[in-house]
Amino acid sequence: MTKKIKLENQLNLMVALDLTAMDPILMKYVSFLCKVWNIEHLYFTHNIKQYKLYDLYDDFLEEGITVEDIVDRALNKTVDDHYTATVPHTVIITSDDYTESILSHLAKEYKIDIMVTGNKDELQGTGALSQKLVRMLDANVLLVPEEARHGMDHVLIPTDFSSASAKCFEVADSLVERSGGHIEALHVYNIPSFFFPYINTEKAIDKTKFHLKEKVVQFRKKYKLRADIPFKYMDRRGLSVVEAIEVHAEKGDFDIIVTSARGANNITSLFVGSVTNDLLIRNRKMPLLVIR
């Protein structure tokens, strides 16, 4: 069972690196996290896909040099140049054809609480690796985009009032505890357009918001949420739920989005909620923390 993200906990973070320009960005962001979270140890890891490097291996072996040697030097140089925190760290290099499988194995072996990866992964920005990691890992997953700023002052929680999304509020409390920042919850709703010719749209929206306010009261009571966390409601008006979340997040100038791996239809842990799944493959300006 994954350890809860709480500042009093000693967290283990693993950072998935790919020897691209994204690595220094991740190093600097993780250095910032060391100031706002109580991190016990960091693991910087890179997986070498052997099937891509057979010929290269042969050439280097003649000179007594291995690909692992070169990768180790490159990773350690990146750490030396861009990691500025004092939290102890370990560099891990693996060779496996399936990156998500080896990362899942390492996460279990080292009891990782949060797997940190770049928003643009090795599969050319398709989000496929991130989707697999969220599905396979017991750990939480933090996706960091290139434009991520170093702040924990303004946290957004998209919620569907499910028990899964309720977990995000406890995590968010920890995120802003040291910064003194604040949390905001967002629920995206939609009134189907085919009703519009037959109903008073303004009254329908008012009634929907009234119903949602009642739902928030019940949600706060059931999960013992702080009374000072504001809940906002947004009619997506032709947008997808994810597009509506992103519009609200950018307008509100949020530092990070915290969401659950699963939504209201929590059928099995093998499936990622549809909204979270869509968020994983989008290019955002703020990090996305996916809670198990």
Question: Tens digits of per-residue pLDDT, 134-193?
Answer: 778 888 999 999 889 999 899 999 999 988 889 999 888 888 877 788 999 999 887 765
Tokens 């955002």 found at: 284
Position 53 scores a pLDDT of: 54
Say if residues 152 and 172 touch (Cβ distance below 8 Å): no
Of the given ranges (52-66, 111-125, 140-154, 269-283), which has the lowest mean pLDDT? Answer: 52-66
**Dihedral over alpha carbons 190, 172, 100, 21 (to 10 degrees):** 100
Question: Tens digits of per-residue pLDDT, 197-208?
Answer: 555 667 777 788
Answer yes or no: is pLDDT of 52 > 50: yes
Measured between alpha carbons, how far is 105 from 96 in angstroms, rounded to an integer? 11
CATH architecture group of domain 11-144: 3-Layer(aba) Sandwich (3.40)
Torsion sign over Cα 135, 139, 142, 143:
negative
Q: Which of 71, 20, 15, 18 is nearest to 43 (CA)?
A: 15
What pLDDT score was predicted for residue 116? Answer: 95
Q: What is the predicted pLDDT for the residue at 126?
A: 44
- Tens of pLDDT, residues 86-145: 999 999 999 888 888 899 999 999 999 999 998 754 434 445 677 777 778 888 999 999
List, by residue range, all CATH 3.40.50.620 domains of the chain: 11-144, 154-291
Whether the per-residue pLDDT at 195 is higher than 90: the answer is no
Q: What's the mean pLDDT in 70-96?
A: 92
Domain 154-291 has CATH 3.40.50.620: yes
3-state secondary structure the chain: CCCCCCCCCCEEEEEECCCCCHHHHHHHHHHHHHHHCCEEEEEEEEEECHHHCHHHHHHHHHCCCCHHHHHHHHHHHHHHHHCCCCCCEEEEEEECCCHHHHHHHHHHHCCCCEEEEECCCCCCCCCHHHHHHHHHCCCEEEEECCCCCCCCCEEEEECCCCHHHHHHHHHHHHHHHCCCCEEEEEEEECCCHHHCCCCCHHHHHHHHHHHHHHHHHHHHHHHCCCCCCCEEEEECCCCCHHHHHHHHHHHCCCCEEEEECCCCCCCCCCCCCHHHHHHHCCCCCCCEEEEC
CA distance 129 to 119: 10
